[in-house]
Every structure is written in structure tokens, then in C-alpha cells.
Amino acid sequence: MKRTLVHSGSSTSLASVSSSPSFSPSFKDGPSESKLQASKSGFFARSFNRKNLERTLPILKWGPKYTKQKAVADLIAGLTVGLTILPQGLAYATVAGLPPIYGLYSSFVGCFVYIFFGSTKAITIGPTAIQCVLTNKYTSGRSPQYAVFLSFVTAVVTLFMGIFRLGFIANFISSPVNSGFTSGVALTIVATQIKALLGLKFHGEGFLVTAIGLVEHISETKKWDAILSLCCCVVLLSLKKLDLIFGCIRGKSVVLDKTLWLISTARSIIVIVVATGLVAGMGWDDNKPFSLVGNITAGLPPFRPPPFSIYEPADNRTHSITDILSEEASGLLVLPLLGIMGHMTIAKAFSGTERVDATQEITCIGISNAISCFFSSMPIGGSFSRTTVNAMAGVETPLGGLYTGIIVLMALQFLTPYFYFIPKASLASVIVCCVIFMVDLSIIMPMWRSKKMDMFPWAATFLVTIFAGLEYGILTGFLISTSFLLYYAARPRVKIMKGETSTGIEFMLVDLDRSLTFPSVDYITYEITKTAKRWGTSKTPIVIDCHHIQFADYTAAEAMRNMITSLYALGYSLVFFKLKPSVEKIVNGIMVNSKTPLILCHSTEDLEELLNKGIRRYSDVFQVLSSPKDMEIS
């Protein structure tokens, strides 16, 4: 295959590298005191200018533009979300293995914090399904104080990741892994609610253990709990699809459409209120046919610092912070990572055309958990279902969270006595009908049609999440995603072609499709030597087109040196064509004491001149040929 070297640009002559000019340092007087003061004032001016303040406190940006119309929209949206968060909070606490009241303890602080620090208007922060089921993993059968401590640790880790901009770690979770994990979590949550749905009582957590327990204890099902669960699920699913049921009359009246939407949105609290009223109205004293929530501590949560030592009656000893950290080591990273991943997914979905400030959002989650843990909260984050309700309700600013938070506080202060009569079956039904739609099967066929290999991380993550546990599921997915990236880095596409100068000198042209990294050096060297042995002799020069090599560090430069040394030892001459100046500087730094020549060329004319004269004559010195030019090989 003949390759023609086309020169476009002014000609340049071959030039050897001259020695660098000697470095002659000179010393000057240090900055004066007045200059230091000016520097300090400049630092504060840059740090506390309006742009940075608005980024840190987004309320300063939208607050001055607030109008009555926005206030009305926020009020309606906030009240609507409040009607959703009450039943969800109570139900999610049971998923976390905590008394239901802890769900409400976790539902109001995030609403208030996001008003000041949130950058996306529709997001609501509170308990989420994934975080609750993970919390259950570490708090099941223990004191609720473990959940509060987890909230504190989540705050510390999340703030650390926000301050040092480490949120990109969540980007290593690919879409198939995210989908498989979410689907596995959904089925795991359903499994945790089976006992409440059927009124069963047996020990065991997790999908597989619960499935076995269900088979063994199915005969112990309480029929009234099962009937109530069935009725609640039917009503919840029917109300969710009201727009389809009444599709024939939709669009004929704005008032009717809004009414149907409000009923559909508030379906959870409607079911809970009706079921609770039914049980309370029957007035049973002792022999109650339904399993009830029972007594709940009335009033607002006490304000106190998170626990740093927890007394556990089960083993009659106090667990220190060191004990807790060692026992829950895996959860310390898994919980914050999943919280960040879920929150950023929601933020991107509901940000519209605005850019999402990832650092600000991650920091906001950390602040929310940091304050919330002083009110006996479990770990919290952005909720997709409530954010969807908020957006559909027409929220205009994060101030809608004010009204949501007030509703939760009012419920804690005045409604807790009535929570006694809430049937556990109704709460379980709310959870099941909410999370069952998290099972994502719609991604399977597109993956199958586009790239079947992506089915593997989806299936592996899904199965490991169900049968081994949530933390192992997300770890498996993370490792698979990272392995794919590492394989991609270690196996670049190496395109090797025969080239020929205008005078008939043959050479090998190597084109890499990405930057050269140390995992790929051995593979690239192998491909080059294999092709060279098949095509020619060691006298055939090798030209590596470097226009895809955009960056380098010490390790990458060392990898390039190793490749040069290996090929030179086999007798091959190597030329780097169009190596970027920034990369060239780094490679030159590591080749200073090397006995192997580094030959660089930046223009097609100089490359042709070098090949025609023969590279070996320059093997005793480092050669840098001309200056970078806008050349192309055609």
C-alpha cells in the first residue's frame, strides 16, 4: 500500500538539537508589604465575588428574581410533595429496618437545606429506596442509632468528595450496571416487604433467604393482612393509571385533568388514610386482625449530636466509634457513592437546559446529612419519585421544599398519635407499588441490538445484587465497568500501513487511535514487531503518528521510553511524528540519560528528508526536527 507524504506549509531544514542555554538564576528582593496586602485583598476579592457566592449559595441568584407567581407555584408543588413524602417516609423507614417515625425524622432537614444550597429547582432530598435497603444491611437487629451514625459518616465522606471534586468516581458506573443494580435493589426491597404484606413472622433478610422462608411459612399467612395488601396494591396501581382509565374524558376540562392528576399523585396517602381510618373505626381492643405500626414517639425529634458510641443490649456492651467503623467499613463508601450516583442522575434528568454543578450538588447532600444526623436521621439523598412529582406540580424554585418540610414537622407534632392504627400491610403495599417500577427491563433489547457484550455487566450486577447482597452487586458492576475501560486502554486499535517516500524509501506507518498509556505499550510493541517481521527487515524505519497522543505523565513517558528501547534493541529505527510539545517536553525529561536515540519530527518535509538520508546516521544524538506545523499525512 503506497502512502504519499503531502507537504502543506513552508519548508524547513533539518536541525539538530542544540544544547539548552545555561540557566543563570537571579535573585530579587521579595514583594513589599504593600504588595502582600494587595495580594491578600485580591485573593479575598476573587474568593468572595458575586459569582462565587451565587455558586455556593444559589438562593442569591434566584432569590432577587422571586415573584408572586413563583410563590404560588412553589406552594402548590411543596404541598403536593408533602402529601407524598409522609407515607413514603413511614414506609421507607420499615425498609431500613427502623421504626416508622425515623422516616419522618429524615424527611424535613433536606428540604430546608436544599433551599439555600440546591442548584436544581425540582430536586427533593429525603429517604430513598436504595439508601434505605442499604441502611437495613447495617442496622438490621441493631439500635436505630446505627442508622444515625451512618448518616454522619455519609455526610463526612460526601463532603470530602465534594470538596475535592471526587464525584467523577460515580461516572465509572455504566448505564447497564446502574440498570442491573437498580433492578436488583427493587426485587430485594420487594422481598423485604413480603412478610408485612402477608403478616408472616420469620427471621431472615435478603432475597434468597426470604424466598426460602416464604415457602416454608406460607401456611402461616394472615388472611386479613393478605386481603388488605391485595386491595391496597390494586387501588394504588389503578390510581397510578387514572389518566389511562379516564382517557376518553381527558382534555375536556382543565379542572378535571388537574383533579385526576392530584388524586393520582396523592394515591399513597389516600390509601394510608383510608386503611388507617378503616382499622381505627372498627375499634378492636385486643384481637386485631391486622398487624399495626403501634406506638410511635410523639413530637419533634430531639436535637442532639450523632452517637459516637452505641450501647447494644443484644451483646451487653458499648460499641466505640472504632468498633462501628470496622464493622461497617464497606458501607462507609457504598452508601455515599450510591447516594451521589442517584442524586446526579436525578439532577441531570431534571436540570433542563441548565448545566448541573456536580460539586455543589454533592456538597449539598453532605450538608443535608451533616445537619440531619443531629435530628436522628438515617442517610438521605435525592428522591426520583418525589422529584418527579415536584416537577409535574410545576415547582419554580427550591423554595417549594419549605412547604414540604413544614408539612412533615406538622405531622410529627400533631399526627403521631394516629400513626398507631396504620396497618403494616398498607405501608408495604405503598413500597412495593413504588419500587416495582424500578425494575428496568426496557434496556435489555436495545443492548441486545446494539452491543451484546453490555448484557454481561447488566446480568452479573443484577444476579449478584439479588443473591449476594447490594454492596457486592455494586462492587461487581464497578469492577466490570472499570475492567472494560482498562481493557480498552490496554488494547488500542493499532493501524499499521506501508508507506513510501517520493524517492521510493519504504517505511512502516503506525497510527494509534488513542493516547499511549503504559498498559498498552507491550501490546503495541508486539503488534509493531510482528508486522515488521512479516513485512520487512530491521532496516525498515518505523514512523509513529502521534497526533492522537494528547497527554502524558511520567508513567506514560516511561512507557514510551520502554517501547523505544525494546524496538531499538531489535534493530528498528523509530520516529515520532507530530508529537505535541507538551508531551515532547515530558518524554525528553525521561530520556536524558538514555543511550537510545529519541527522534522526533514535526513536518512531512523534514520526515521525508530524514527517511531519504537514513535514520541510522543520527543514532548517536537526539534529533528534534523543525518546529510543530499543521501537517497531515494523506
Q: 243 and 221 share a domain?
A: yes
User: pLDDT at position 4, please?
Assistant: 36
Q: 163 and 103 share a domain?
A: yes
- Pick from 577, 603, 624: nearest CA to 17: 624
Cell numbers at 138, concatenated: 447495617
Quick one: pLDDT band at residue 536, thresholds 50, 70, 90?
Answer: low
Q: Is residue 631 part of a domain?
A: no
Task: Compute the average pLDDT of residues 537-549.
Answer: 81
| Angstrom distances, CA of residue 522 to CA of 184, 492, 531, 564 | 39, 11, 14, 11
Contact, 607 vs 12, CB < 8 A? no
Quick one: pLDDT band at residue 26, thresholds 50, 70, 90?
Answer: very low
Task: Compute the average pLDDT of residues 114-134.
Answer: 93
Q: 248 and 110 share a domain?
A: yes
* Domain end marker among 446, 481, 516: 481
Q: Position 292: which residue type?
A: L
Q: Is residue 29 part of a domain?
A: no
Q: 473 and 620 share a domain?
A: no
Task: Compute the average pLDDT of residues 454-459.
Answer: 94
User: pLDDT at position 1, please?
Assistant: 36
* Domain end marker among 426, 447, 481: 481
Quick one: pLDDT band at residue 18, thresholds 50, 70, 90?
Answer: very low
Q: 462 and 525 share a domain?
A: no
* Domain end marker among 481, 513, 546: 481
| Angstrom distances, CA of residue 377 to CA of 24, 25, 139, 147, 421 | 63, 60, 13, 7, 23
User: pLDDT at position 446, please?
Assistant: 92
Task: Report the C-alpha gap between 63 and 78 in whole angstroms.
Answer: 17
Burial class of residue 424 (count of CB atoms within 10 Å of its CB; 0-12, 13-18, 19+): buried
Half-sphere CA count of 238, side-chain side, radius 13 A:
8
Task: Compute the average pLDDT of residues 454-480.
Answer: 91
| Mean pLDDT lowest among 77-81, 116-120, 561-565 | 561-565
Q: 476 and 445 share a domain?
A: yes
Q: 466 and 386 share a domain?
A: yes
Q: What is the DSSP letter of 335?
A: H
Q: 432 and 500 share a domain?
A: no
Task: Report the C-alpha gap between 368 and 589 in whole angstroms.
Answer: 47
User: pLDDT at position 152, please?
Assistant: 94
User: pLDDT at position 598, please?
Assistant: 83
Task: Report the C-alpha gap between 479 and 538 in whole angstroms.
Answer: 41
pLDDT in tens, 237-292: 999 988 787 777 777 788 888 888 889 888 999 999 999 998 888 766 556 788 88
User: pLDDT at position 205, please?
Assistant: 74
Task: Compute the average pLDDT of residues 20-36.
Answer: 42
pLDDT, the chain, mean: 83
Q: 383 and 510 share a domain?
A: no
Domain count, the chain: 2
pTM of the model: 0.77
Task: Report the C-alpha gap between 303 and 235 in whole angstroms.
Answer: 39
Q: Position 440: which residue type?
A: D
Residue 71 pLDDT > 60: yes
CATH code of the domain containing 505: 3.30.750.24
Quick one: pLDDT band at residue 626, thresholds 50, 70, 90?
Answer: very low
* Sign of the four-CA dihedral 246, 251, 256, 260: positive
3-state secondary structure of 354: coil
pLDDT in tens, 93-102: 999 999 999 9
pLDDT in tens, 140-155: 878 899 999 999 999 9
User: pLDDT at position 10, please?
Assistant: 32
Residue 27 pLDDT > 70: no
Q: Is residue 28 part of a domain?
A: no
Q: Is residue 56 part of a domain?
A: no
The total of other beta-carbon atoms located within 10 Å of residue 85's CB is 31
Half-sphere CA count of 403, side-chain side, radius 13 A:
20
pLDDT in tens, 325-384: 887 676 678 888 888 888 888 888 887 777 788 889 999 999 999 999 999 999 999 998
Q: Is residue 1 part of a domain?
A: no
Residue 532 pLDDT > 50: yes
Strands 623-625 and 317-320: unpaired
User: pLDDT at position 621, please?
Assistant: 33
pLDDT in tens, 472-521: 898 899 899 889 888 888 888 888 888 888 888 888 889 888 777 778 88
Residue 533 pLDDT > 90: no
Q: 501 and 475 share a domain?
A: no
User: pLDDT at position 426, please?
Assistant: 94
User: pLDDT at position 475, please?
Assistant: 87
Residue 439 pLDDT > 50: yes
Percentage of the chain beyond pLDDT 90 is 38
Q: 435 and 578 share a domain?
A: no
Task: Report the C-alpha gap between 103 and 181 in whole angstroms.
Answer: 23
For residue 452, give its domain range.
62-481
Q: 157 and 282 share a domain?
A: yes
Q: Is residue 588 part of a domain?
A: yes
Cell numbers at 150, concatenated: 451512618
User: pLDDT at position 463, please?
Assistant: 95
